[in-house]
């Protein structure tokens, strides 16, 4: 049983793998995986050597470097550990060493780029311990938790450092983009000794003429960086999108927080208060107004929501309805839930954010569900597990990579840029 390189040319090399038969299919598959991993290690070691120098002197940043000879290094790969002897360079005065192979092959810490891509993607989905278990059980790879953490942190550091410089192209969409909806929201994150603090999440949704969402860009910022940093990131992303889609209609979707509208008003033609938030205010008020007639609540609420969505001027009429029902049923007009609904509808309809009938007719989204779902998917599902408390660097690392992996094609583009420009923190 062996795996060997049987031939080499200038363009390629050939491997020979001998795999024994087994008595069960499961055992056979596990044996195949084991031998393919051995072949992968051998092939990766062969490929890595092509990125080394021949030992000749180099000039890097106007500084002459000479080879100190070859030193063995173990590289972590998707298949196993590949030991490779490669040239190490230094100036005549000594000091920091330089490894051309690591730079040329885009090594991340001690990992090949493909393995770093795998590990950091998995880490974006679950914690380091689960990544270690997944690699062992499903890939036949045994690595340390510290390795997973170090690789994920290094990848995230590049993602954050290059956030302003690297632009990402949207995927090719099946239909022309008619509407682009910009949403923003905040959600709580438990930050160590600081307790629960707000993490900002934003989405940019691309919709066709029928109102079908085709693509979504996800963004996020952890508490330490604050809303100002998040808004800067979102603003840059909006600028790039507008440059690519200048003819689309831009719509701002959010809940009632004033800060949302100050920002969205500068970047969108139309601002829309999330329909489901409005419906929640009506529902809370209806609980009070129909406390003595619980069976009447649902028909009134369904009718009111239907009118709000489809009948022009319904928002202002509902304000009058709430006041009238409060008087008829002996409910104090300043009852918190009733007053909150009246105030909410008065402010939002007065600002022109409740023109749902015309928006529905134009196939423009009226709900911020995409952004609320992003809060759950980006933050809650990964960062708010039982017993989790975060320090700022760790939370920022996870969130930055998670935004890349959840935005279609952006993860592959990110690694394409690393492949092209190099890994900035490679040793």
pLDDT tens, residue by residue, 4-42:
999 999 999 999 999 999 999 999 999 999 999 999 999
270/281 same-domain check? no
194/265 same-domain check? yes
State residue 168 phi and psi, 5-degree precision. -120, 135
pLDDT value of position 194: 78
372/256 same-domain check? yes
Cα–Cα distance measured from residue 39 to residue 17, given in angstroms and rounded to the nearest whole number = 7
- For the stretch 410-427, pLDDT in tens is 999 999 999 999 887 444
**Cβ neighbours for 206, distance < 8 A, ≥ 6 positions apart:** 170, 173, 177, 179, 180, 213, 214, 215, 216, 245
**Cβ neighbours for 60, distance < 8 A, ≥ 6 positions apart:** 89, 98
**Cβ neighbours for 245, distance < 8 A, ≥ 6 positions apart:** 177, 180, 206
Cα–Cα distance measured from residue 230 to residue 340, given in angstroms and rounded to the nearest whole number = 29
Rounded to 10°, the helix 275-289/294-310 angle is 150
Q: Please, which pLDDT band fits residue 198 given cuts at 50, 70 and 90?
A: confident
Q: Which residues of 243-266 are buried (b: 16+ CB within 10 A; e: fewer)?
A: eebeebbbbbbbbbeeebbebbee
pLDDT value of position 427: 41
Domain boundary at 49, 69, 84, which?
Answer: 49
Cβ atoms 162, 424 nearer than 8 A: yes
Residue 377 lies in a domain: yes
Residue 68 lies in a domain: no
* Structural domain range at position 45: 3-49
Residue 245 lies in a domain: yes
pLDDT value of position 40: 97
- For the stretch 394-415, pLDDT in tens is 999 999 999 999 999 999 999 9
Q: What percent of the chain has pLDDT over 70?
A: 98
* Dihedral sign (CA 25, 28, 32, 34): positive
**Cβ neighbours for 53, distance < 8 A, ≥ 6 positions apart:** 67, 87, 100, 101
Among 100, 73, 76, smallest CA distance to 84 is for 73
- Is the entire prediction scored with pTM above 0.75? yes
- For the stretch 41-92, pLDDT in tens is 999 999 999 999 999 999 988 999 999 999 999 999 999 999 999 999 999 9
Type and span of the H or E element at 91: strand 81-91
183/203 same-domain check? yes
State residue 175 phi and psi, 5-degree precision. -125, 155
388/240 same-domain check? yes
292/208 same-domain check? no
**Cβ neighbours for 179, distance < 8 A, ≥ 6 positions apart:** 206, 207, 211, 248, 249, 250, 251, 363, 364, 365
Q: Please, which pLDDT band fits residue 258 given cuts at 50, 70 and 90?
A: confident
148/207 same-domain check? no
> Residue 265: pLDDT above 60?
yes
* 131 beta partners: none
> Residue 225: pLDDT above 80?
no
Q: How many CB atoms lie within 10 A of CB 141?
A: 20
Q: How many CB atoms lie within 10 A of CB 296?
A: 12
Residue 148 lies in a domain: yes
Residue 214 lies in a domain: yes
Residue 346 lies in a domain: yes
352/371 same-domain check? no
Residues in the chain: 427
Cα–Cα distance measured from residue 297 to residue 320, given in angstroms and rounded to the nearest whole number = 17
């Amino acid at each position: 049983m062996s795996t060997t390189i049987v031939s080499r040319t200038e363009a390629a090399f050939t491997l020979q793998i001998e795999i024994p038969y087994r008595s069960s299919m499961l055992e056979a598959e596990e044996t195949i995986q084991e031998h393919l991993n051995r072949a992968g290690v051998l092939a990766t070691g062969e490929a890595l050597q092509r990125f080394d120098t021949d030992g000749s002197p180099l000039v890097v940043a106007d500084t002459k470097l000479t080879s100190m000879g070859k030193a063995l290094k173990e590289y972590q790969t998707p298949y196993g550990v590949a030991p490779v002897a490669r040239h190490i360079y230094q100036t005549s005065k000594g000091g920091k060493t330089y490894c051309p192979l690591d730079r040329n092959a885009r090594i991340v810490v001690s990992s090949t780029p493909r393995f770093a891509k795998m590990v950091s993607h998995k880490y974006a989905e679950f914690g380091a311990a689960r990544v270690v278990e997944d690699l062992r059980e499903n890939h036949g790879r045994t690595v340390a938790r510290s390795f997973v953490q170090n690789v994920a942190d290094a990848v995230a550091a590049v993602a954050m450092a290059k956030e302003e410089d690297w632009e990402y192209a949207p995927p090719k969409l099946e239909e022309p983009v008619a509407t682009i909806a910009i949403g923003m929201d905040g959600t709580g994150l438990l930050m160590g000794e600081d307790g629960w603090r707000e993490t900002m999440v934003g989405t940019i949704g691309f919709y066709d003429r029928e109102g079908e969402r085709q693509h979504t860009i996800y963004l996020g910022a952890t508490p330490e960086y604050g809303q100002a940093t998040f808004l800067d990131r979102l603003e840059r992303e909006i600028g790039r999108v507008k440059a690519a889609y200048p003819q689309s209609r831009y719509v701002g979707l959010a809940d009632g927080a004033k800060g949302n509208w100050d920002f969205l008003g500068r970047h969108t033609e139309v601002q829309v208060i999330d329909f489901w938030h409005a419906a929640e205010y009506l529902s809370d008020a209806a609980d009070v107004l129909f406390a003595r007639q619980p069976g009447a609540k649902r028909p009134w609420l369904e009718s009111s929501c239907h009118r709000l969505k489809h009948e022009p001027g319904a928002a202002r009429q509902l304000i009058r309805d709430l006041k009238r029902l409060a008087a008829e049923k002996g409910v104090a007009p300043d009852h918190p839930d009733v007053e909150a609904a009246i105030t909410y509808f008065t402010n939002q309809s007065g600002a022109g954010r409740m023109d749902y009938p015309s928006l529905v007719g134009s196939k423009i989204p009226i709900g911020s569900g995409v952004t609320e779902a992003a809060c759950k998917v980006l933050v809650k599902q990964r960062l708010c597990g039982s017993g989790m408390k975060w320090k700022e660097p760790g939370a920022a690392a996870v969130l930055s990579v998670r935004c890349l992996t959840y935005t279609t094609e952006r993860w592959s583009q990110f690694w394409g840029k690393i492949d092209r420009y190099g890994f900035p923190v490679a040793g």
